[in-house]
Amino acid sequence: MSDILLYPITIEQKGKRWVYHSYQFPEIKGSSFDLENVYLTAKEQLEKHLYHFFLNQESALPPSWEKENEKVLIVAVSKKEILQKYGSTPVKKMVSIPSWLSYQAEKEGLSLSKVLQEAIKEKINRNEGRK
């Protein structure tokens, strides 16, 4: 599955002017007053909705497409960016390393947390390249 997902948002006219828009995703509803705001709000809502799917390792619902009397905009979201944006709360993990390695790291002024994060990110990126 690609990292980039495309979802349509339906924009409908309310009254005689295009001043009020609504957007709709599977199980997500909302409204706004201008196209830029509705796009940004819709993108954020979609990212949050999909974040829960990804967190639970579920497949996202397939996007639905255009209906009569509605305009459709496409919102592009990245699974990787969603997980980084909404899942970046630090968590504490206990790590055991040999004492000599701890001593050398301290002597070199290395941050164990930073080195571990960089190593994990590098490993993830290498594994994603194989898919």
**CATH placement of domain 4-86:** 3.30.160.250
Query: Could you tell me whether strands 28-32 and 71-78 are parallel, antiparallel, or unpaired per DSSP bridges?
Result: unpaired
DSSP 68-111: TT-EEEEEEEEHHHHHHHHS-----------HHHHHHHHHHT--
pTM for this predicted structure: 0.41
Residue 18 has pLDDT above 90, yes or no: no
Partnered with residue 10 across adjacent β-strands are 72
What per-residue confidence (pLDDT) applies to 110? 95
The full set of domain ranges for the chain reads 4-86, 99-130
Q: What is the pLDDT of residues 58-75, one digit of tens each?
A: 776 666 655 555 666 777
